[in-house]
DNA sequence: TACAAATAGTCCGCTATCGTAACGAACCGA
DNA sequence: TCGGTTCGTTACGATAGCGGACTATTTGTA
């Protein structure tokens, strides 16, 4: 199982996946919101507002707003850190797990479509 | 050169690439704007407003706005179709080509990082 | 017990996007 | 030429995002 791909293939993979998500009318997350969501689900906790702001190099209010939005959609949730009540931990939800699993399937499907197109010579 | 990847690998690839673009303070395009840009650059012309609206299943004004924004950033441009002056053709720009090439490099770099992490067992 | 530091949230004015509906320009067939 | 159709844009009111500055709460320490 390898993941080598040329730039053009990479872009076409990206296109196929993102066009699919737009067509499916998936929650229209911004790049920042998506990067926040993926970071919370795929990198080791704990995840705090300040830590995420540093990781993504965006302002704190941007993180707070992104969490607001993800919370509204029940894709993530806040929990006060009992060890340091100034901090807020951002945690996963069931709905968020389901959403990301489906998103992963969508990317995998895009990769399959790209592979088939290549086999047919549709991509030169 | 193959492009097989599991759902988790796919998501981690996505995370690495999108976090990189956010950190690099790349133009903060929405999913719709990005899907429009990729479609214009990677699928055969001509690209009209109506056609793109159908392809992406979004409203016409949403396409018009996305083109407005991409035009402001000189990532795409409008050209009236001389064969049917009601239609507007969306075309590539040099700056858009450069932007997407860099974006492709970013995804390829994310794939390499993912591969290395796997080799080290960091992804179980 | 005071006081500074750290953390997250709120407020401000501004800009961008949304979908529906209305609009003007261009095309086409009768 | 006239009427309907197609195409893209604009108008509208509503919602959401932005960064910088400020606030409230909690913590650690002198």
Can you give the C-alpha Rg of chain B in angstroms? 17
User: How many Å apart are B79 CA and C23 C1'?
Assistant: 21
Q: Which nucleotide is nearest to A80 (CA to C1')?
A: C8
Given this model, what pLDDT does residue B17 score? 97
Query: In the predicted model, what is the mean pLDDT of chain B?
Result: 91
User: Is the model's pLDDT at A122 over the cut of 90?
Assistant: no
Domains of chain A with bracketed CATH: 7-119 (1.10.10.10)
Closest nucleotide (CA of B33 to C1')? C17
Lowest mean pLDDT of A113-122, B5-14, B34-43, B47-56, name the range: A113-122
pLDDT on residue B65: 97
Average pLDDT on B118-122 reads: 65
Percent of chain B with pLDDT strictly greater than 90: 84
pLDDT of A57 above 60: yes
CA distance A11 to B18: 13
Average pLDDT over residues B70-92: 96
Where do the DSSP E strands lie in chain B? 76-80, 88-92
C-alpha A107: how far from its chain's center? 11
Which is more confidently placed, B28 or A14?
A14
- Residue A89 pairs with which residues in a beta bridge? A48, A79
Q: Which residues of B touch A18 (CB under 8 A)?
A: 31, 34-35, 38
Angstrom CA distances, B22 to A94, B27, B36, B69, stand at 26, 9, 19, 18
Residues in contact with A7: Cβ distance below 8 Å, sequence separation at least 6, in sequence order: B101, B104, B105, B107, B108
pLDDT number for residue B20? 96
Question: What is the spatial distance between Cα A18 and Cα B38, in angstroms, rounded to a whole number?
Answer: 9
Which has the minimum average pLDDT: A70-79, B53-62, B112-121? B112-121
Q: Select the more confidently predicted residue: A121 or A6.
A: A6
Residues 80-119 of A with CB under 7 A from strand C: 84, 86-88
Q: At residue B123, does pLDDT exceed 50?
A: no
Whether chain B has a CB inside 8 Å of the CB on A4: the answer is yes
Report whether pLDDT(A61) > 90.
yes
* Predicted pLDDT of residue B40: 97
Using one digit for the tens of pLDDT, what is the confidence trace for B9-23?
A: 999 999 999 999 999
pLDDT number for residue A120: 67
- Who wins on pLDDT, A5 or B37? B37
Beta-carbon separation of A18 and B12 below 8 A = no
Scanning residues 58 through 117 of protein chain B, those with a beta carbon under 7 Å from any atom of strand D turn out to be: 60-61, 63-65, 67-68, 78, 84, 86-88
For the stretch A66-105, pLDDT in tens is 999 999 999 999 999 999 999 999 999 999 999 999 999 9
* Per-residue pLDDT at B121: 60
B70 pLDDT higher than 50: yes
Interchain pair A4, B38: CB under 8 A = no
Owner of token pair 């109506």? B50
- For residue A48, the 8-state DSSP code is B
pLDDT tens, residue by residue, A5-44: 789 999 999 999 999 999 999 988 999 999 999 999 999 9
Query: Nucleic chain D: which protein residues 44-83 of A have CB below 7 A from it?
Result: 58-62, 65-66, 68-69
Q: In Å, how far from its chain's centre is CA B36?
A: 7
| Residue B84 per-residue DSSP state | S
Which pLDDT does position A1 carry in this prediction? 39
């Amino acid at each position: 199982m390898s993941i080598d791909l040329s730039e053009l293939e990479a872009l076409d993979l990206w296109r196929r996946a993102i066009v699919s998500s737009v067509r499916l009318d998936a929650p229209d997350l911004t790049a920042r919101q998506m990067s926040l969501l993926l970071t919370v689900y795929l990198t080791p906790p704990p995840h705090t507002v300040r830590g995420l702001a540093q990781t993504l190099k965006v302002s704190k209010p941007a993180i707070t707003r992104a969490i607001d939005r993800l919370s509204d959609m029940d894709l993530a949730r806040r929990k006060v850190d009992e060890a340091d009540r100034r901090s807020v931990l951002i945690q996963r939800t069931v709905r968020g797990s389901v959403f990301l699993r489906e998103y992963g399937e969508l990317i995998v499907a895009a990769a399959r479509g790209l592979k088939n197109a290549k086999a047919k010579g549709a991509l030169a």
